């Protein structure tokens, strides 16, 4: 019996390829070429399933040009690269990879916050450049984490993980802003107080962004918001590029209107706004918040399970939509 054909759009663990190959005829991309929408469309011809990442564009044009496609399974939790309404209308199931990355990503949010507040990258660059000749009382003196007020914008699973780390591990006062307020029990677990965005911007010592990308969330932090923050504040973005106006942030950092920033995601990544590259008070990492080996394996396994579950048994683990039945 011929196996259904699927595409794995980016390089992935060999174990995942082997798992999928038990059920499907698999075309891989172990060279890890980043395909354009047109190249992806060409590769998807004749495929019923696609294993993708958050950087593969599953937009309306691609969807319209792939009539045999039944499921797009992403190994990412964020799915702003998916046109979900177009998939639904075309009878295609969309799945993402929630939960499995929550704690790892919250760990990284905290790591980036600490590196930013305590000037880890900046001081390491100084040392490596051979500039360290003596101890000085104020050399790379930064901000404290313990006891500070942590503001979290976007209080989903990852935001809650960061709140717990801050409140329980570092004795921080946690305030949060979210589209909807959490229930009282969750607020108590996170030791977090709901405030308006304005109050959060005004009062937080450190602000961590964990909102999913949407048109409404575009530039959640722009020039106006940066102007409301404390001059001593640190801003961390582990959400998505476009949540922060990177040009406005670079200017605010350069003019010392806020103290520091830690960024894992960028507008137009993997391009990084050139002004950010020349500011020393920003810690820059290449979209690695979920990148521990066990977690990346769990994310890939979940995407594979969604493909197997749906194509073999019509049952996905983490569906994002209910496709219109066009059979």
Where along the sequence are the contacts to ligand DGY (CB under 6 A)? 54, 76-78, 101, 290
- Among 10, 119, 165, 240, the active-site one is 240
Residue recorded with tokens 């582990």: 238
Distance in angstroms (rounded) separating the CA atoms of residues 85 and 133? 59
Whichever of 24 and 213 has its CB closer to ligand DGY, that residue is 213
- Residue 313 C-beta: closest distance to ligand DGY, Å: 25
Report in angstroms the alpha-carbon separations of 254 from 101, 132, 257: 33, 23, 8
- Residue 263 C-beta: closest distance to ligand DGY, Å: 13
Spatial CA neighbour of 113 closest among 140, 143, 134, 154: 143
Catalytic status, residue 287: yes
Spatial CA neighbour of 37 closest among 7, 53, 54, 59: 59
- Among 10, 119, 287, 296, the active-site one is 287
Spatial CA neighbour of 283 closest among 78, 104, 118, 103: 118
Q: 228, 254 in Cβ contact below 8 A?
A: no
CA-based radius of gyration for the chain: 22
Whichever of 99 and 255 has its CB closer to ligand DGY, that residue is 99
- Residue 76 C-beta: closest distance to ligand DGY, Å: 3
- Residue 135 C-beta: closest distance to ligand DGY, Å: 39
Whichever of 77 and 235 has its CB closer to ligand DGY, that residue is 77
Whichever of 77 and 90 has its CB closer to ligand DGY, that residue is 77
Whichever of 52 and 62 has its CB closer to ligand DGY, that residue is 52
Catalytic status, residue 240: yes
Residue 238 CB contacts under 8 Å (≥ 6 apart), including other chains: 105, 108, 109, 112, 158, 208, 209, 210, 264, 265, 289
Report in angstroms the alpha-carbon separations of 256 from 178, 233, 260: 28, 10, 8
- Residue 240 C-beta: closest distance to ligand DGY, Å: 7
Catalytic status, residue 103: no
Distance in angstroms (rounded) separating the CA atoms of residues 187 and 164? 10
- Among 27, 103, 199, 269, the active-site one is 269
Q: Which active-site residues does the annotation give?
A: 240, 269, 287
């Amino acid at each position: 019996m011929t196996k259904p054909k699927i595409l794995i759009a980016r390089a992935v663990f060999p174990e995942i390829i082997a798992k999928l190959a038990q059920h499907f005829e698999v075309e891989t991309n172990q060279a890890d070429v980043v395909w354009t929408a047109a190249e992806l469309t060409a590769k998807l011809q004749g495929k019923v399933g696609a294993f993708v990442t958050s950087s593969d564009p599953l937009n309306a044009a691609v969807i319209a040009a792939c009539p045999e496609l039944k499921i797009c399974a992403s190994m990412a939790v964020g799915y702003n690269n998916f046109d979900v309404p177009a998939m639904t209308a075309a009878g295609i199931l969309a799945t993402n990879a929630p939960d499995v990355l929550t704690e790892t990503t919250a760990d990284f949010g905290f790591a980036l916050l600490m590196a930013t507040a305590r000037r880890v990258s900046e001081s390491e660059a100084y040392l490596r450049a051979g500039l360290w000749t003596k101890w000085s009382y104020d050399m790379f003196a930064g901000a404290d984490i313990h006891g500070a007020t942590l503001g979290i914008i976007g209080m989903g699973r990852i935001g809650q993980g960061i709140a717990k780390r801050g409140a329980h591990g570092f004795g921080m006062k946690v305030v949060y802003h979210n589209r909807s307020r959490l229930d009282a029990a969750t607020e108590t677990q996170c030791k977090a107080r709901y405030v308006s965005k304005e109050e959060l911007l005004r009062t937080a010592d450190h602000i961590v962004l964990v909102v999913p990308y949407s048109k409404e969330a575009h530039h959640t932090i722009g020039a106006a918001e940066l102007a409301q923050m404390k001059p001593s504040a640190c801003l961390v973005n582990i959400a998505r590029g476009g949540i922060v106006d990177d040009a406005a942030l670079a200017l605010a950092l350069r003019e010392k209107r806020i103290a520091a920033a830690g960024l894992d995601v960028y507008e137009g990544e993997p391009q990084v706004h050139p002004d950010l590259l020349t500011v020393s008070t920003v810690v820059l990492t290449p979209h690695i918040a979920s990148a521990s080996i066990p977690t990346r394996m769990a994310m890939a396994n979940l995407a594979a399970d969604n493909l197997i579950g749906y194509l073999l048994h019509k049952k996905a683990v983490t569906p994002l939509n209910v496709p219109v039945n066009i059979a």
